[in-house]
């Protein structure tokens, strides 16, 4: 495991249409100039299949489609063991082993999905736009804690300056007293469609990566993640065993219905020798 090449994982999250795919597309172009092999996994937690918005994502990154050193795939939520995050983590490991670095994860920030991205990514980029309506909502939803970097995209649109100012003041207000945080999430203005601010964004990602490496925080987080993933996989395996046992053993299922003892029955099934 220690000898396996491991991809650095960058998560992009933000409200629908903030420009995540456009930013990733611009970033891929910069990274290809550095001769990096880049992989992108676009996930849509709302979609059972890979279509709809995700199709738009693929089109947005079309110009890289024929480059063998760029890997772009979409994932829907259903049909994966334990849902999206387990499937994404397994894919990231494989892509890392194949020499892709970084792996970029794009997820629409709705509900829990941005928290899932943050749990997987080494660096989480939260994308906002001058229409800070969505910004304020995101911040209410606890996005503040998960952002390692804020991007205010669509710098070419009116209201961008105000959006930056608002976000800055929101961030300074939210500074709760106590130990100062070692990492202060920078705010990067970008225009994805004009490819502006992309180098600054990459520089911010690099400096976050260096921060994680130099403080040992990256290693601690990776260890925590591996443990948590193992627990999630174990839960999935257990769930599967219990479902199968109940389906294959009508007597057991009947006894469960009579006695109404889910805990006891679950333990009984998991205690069985396989
Ligand atoms: N003016 C302007 N428009 C942009 C910019 N970046 C993206 N857009 C446009 O915003 C729209 C949405 O861009 P996407 O990159 O698909 O946004 P997204 O966040 O990936 O969207 P979802 O995946 O559907 O959540 C497209 O029409 C883009 O052309 C920008 O910097 N400036
Ligand atoms: Mg997109």
The pair of structure tokens assigned to 270 is: 């998991």
Say which CATH number the domain at 61 has: 3.40.50.300
Residues 133, 245, single domain; the answer is: no
- Segment 102-115 shows an average pLDDT of 81
Residues 209, 235, single domain; the answer is: no
- Segment 151-164 shows an average pLDDT of 90
The pair of structure tokens assigned to 131 is: 């229409």
Domain finish residue from 187, 215, 243: 215
The per-residue pLDDT for range 263-273, each reduced to its tens digit, is 999 999 999 98
- Segment 166-189 shows an average pLDDT of 78
Q: For residue 109, tell me if it sits in a domain.
A: yes
pLDDT of residue 170: 80
Residues 178, 61, single domain; the answer is: yes
- Is residue 146 a contact partner of residue 126, using CB atoms and an 8 Å limit? yes
Given CA atoms 19, 42, 151, 146 in this order, what sign does their dihedral have?
Answer: positive
Q: Which residues constitute the domain of residue 243? A: 226-271
pLDDT of residue 44: 67
Residues 119, 156, single domain; the answer is: yes
- Segment 227-236 shows an average pLDDT of 91
Half-sphere exposure at residue 26, Cβ-oriented, CA atoms within 13 angstroms: 18
Q: For residue 144, tell me if it sits in a domain.
A: yes
Q: For residue 2, tell me if it sits in a domain.
A: no
Residues 190, 235, single domain; the answer is: no
- Is residue 25 a contact partner of residue 61, using CB atoms and an 8 Å limit? yes
Q: Is the pLDDT of residue 53 over 50?
A: no
pLDDT of residue 58: 60
- Is residue 45 a contact partner of residue 108, using CB atoms and an 8 Å limit? yes
The per-residue pLDDT for range 185-226, each reduced to its tens digit, is 999 999 999 999 999 999 999 999 999 999 999 999 999 999
**CB 108 less than 6 A from any atom of ligand 1:** yes
- Segment 91-120 shows an average pLDDT of 86
Residues 67, 185, single domain; the answer is: yes
Q: For residue 77, tell me if it sits in a domain.
A: yes
Residues 249, 163, single domain; the answer is: no
Residues 93, 194, single domain; the answer is: yes
* Neighbouring residues of 70: CB distance < 8 A, sequence distance ≥ 6: 28, 32, 37, 38, 39, 40, 61, 64
Measured in whole angstroms, the distance separating CA 133 from the mean position of its chain's CA atoms is 22
Lowest-confidence segment of 3-17, 89-103, 126-140, 218-232 by average pLDDT: 126-140
Q: Nearest CA to 9 among 139, 98, 125, 111?
A: 125
pLDDT, greater one: 96 or 87: 96
Residues 232, 206, single domain; the answer is: no
Half-sphere exposure at residue 103, Cβ-oriented, CA atoms within 13 angstroms: 28
* Neighbouring residues of 150: CB distance < 8 A, sequence distance ≥ 6: 125, 126, 128, 167, 171, 185, 186, 187, 188
N-terminal to C-terminal alpha carbon distance within the chain = 28
Query: 10-14, 40-44, 159-163, 181-185: which has the highest mean pLDDT?
Result: 10-14
Number of domains into which the chain is organized: 2
Q: For residue 220, tell me if it sits in a domain.
A: no
Backbone angles phi, psi at 33, to 5 degrees: -65, -30
Residues 208, 259, single domain; the answer is: no
The per-residue pLDDT for range 119-152, each reduced to its tens digit, is 899 999 999 888 755 555 556 567 777 899 999 9
Q: For residue 4, tell me if it sits in a domain.
A: no
Residue pointed to by tokens 């676009």: 42
Residues, CB within 5 angstroms of ligand 2 (ion)? 20-21, 57
pLDDT band at 179; cut points 50, 70, 90: low
Q: Nearest CA to 236 among 90, 74, 118, 105?
A: 90
The pair of structure tokens assigned to 253 is: 């299922």
What is the best residue among 13, 21, 159, 197 to mutate for testing ligand 1's pocket, by most ligand atoms within 8 Å of CB?
A: 21
Evaluate if pTM is beyond 0.85. Answer: yes
Residues 141, 247, single domain; the answer is: no
pLDDT band at 262; cut points 50, 70, 90: very high
How far, in Å, are 30, 99, 103, 177, 195 from residue 33 at the CA level?
5, 16, 16, 43, 14
- Segment 88-114 shows an average pLDDT of 87
Ligand number nearest to the C-alpha of 131: 1
Task: Specify the DSSP element, H or E, that contains 219.
Answer: helix 217-248
Lowest-confidence segment of 151-160, 166-175, 236-245 by average pLDDT: 166-175
Percent of the chain beyond pLDDT 70?
82
Domain finish residue from 174, 196, 215: 215
Percent of the chain beyond pLDDT 90?
53
Domain finish residue from 196, 215, 234: 215
Query: 39-48, 123-132, 139-148, 173-182: which has the highest mean pLDDT?
Result: 123-132
Residues 205, 231, single domain; the answer is: no
The pair of structure tokens assigned to 50 is: 């890979």
What is the best residue among 192, 194, 200 to mutate for testing ligand 1's pocket, by most ligand atoms within 8 Å of CB?
A: 192
| Bridge partners, residue 152, by sequence | 128, 189
Q: For residue 230, tell me if it sits in a domain.
A: yes
Q: Ligand 1, residue 56: give the atom nearest the CA.
A: 16
The pair of structure tokens assigned to 153 is: 């995209």
Q: For residue 221, tell me if it sits in a domain.
A: no
- Compute, in angstroms, the gap from residue 223 CA to the centroid of ligand 2: 30
pLDDT of residue 9: 96
């Amino acid at each position: 495991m220690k000898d396996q090449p491991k991809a650095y994982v960058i998560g992009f999250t933000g409200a629908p249409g903030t420009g995540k795919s456009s930013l990733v597309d611009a970033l891929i172009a910069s990274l290809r100039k550095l001769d990096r092999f880049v992989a992108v996994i676009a996930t849509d937690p709302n979609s059972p299949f890979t279509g709809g918005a995700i199709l738009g994502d693929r089109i947005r990154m079309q110009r890289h489609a024929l480059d063998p050193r760029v890997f772009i795939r979409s994932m829907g939520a259903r049909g994966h063991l334990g849902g999206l995050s387990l499937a994404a983590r397994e894919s990231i490991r494989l892509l890392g082993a194949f020499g892709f670095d970084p792996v970029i994860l794009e997820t629409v920030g709705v509900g829990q999905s941005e928290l899932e991205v943050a749990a997987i990514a080494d660096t989480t980029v939260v994308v906002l736009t001058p229409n800070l309506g969505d910004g304020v909502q995101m911040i209410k939803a606890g996005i503040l804690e998960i952002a390692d970097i804020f991007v205010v995209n669509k710098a070419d649109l009116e209201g961008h300056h105000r959006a930056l100012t608002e976000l800055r003041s929101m961030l300074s207000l939210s500074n709760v007293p106590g130990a100062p945080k070692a990492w202060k999430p920078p705010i990067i203005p970008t225009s994805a469609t004009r490819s502006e601010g992309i180098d600054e964004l990459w520089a911010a990602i690099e400096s976050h990566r260096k921060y994680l490496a130099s403080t040992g925080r990256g290693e601690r987080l990776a260890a925590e993640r591996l443990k948590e993933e193992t627990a999630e996989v174990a839960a999935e395996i257990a769930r599967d065993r219990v479902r199968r046992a109940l389906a294959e053993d009508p007597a057991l299922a009947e006894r469960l219905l009579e006695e109404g003892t889910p805990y006891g029955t679950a333990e009984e099934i998991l205690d069985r020798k396989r």
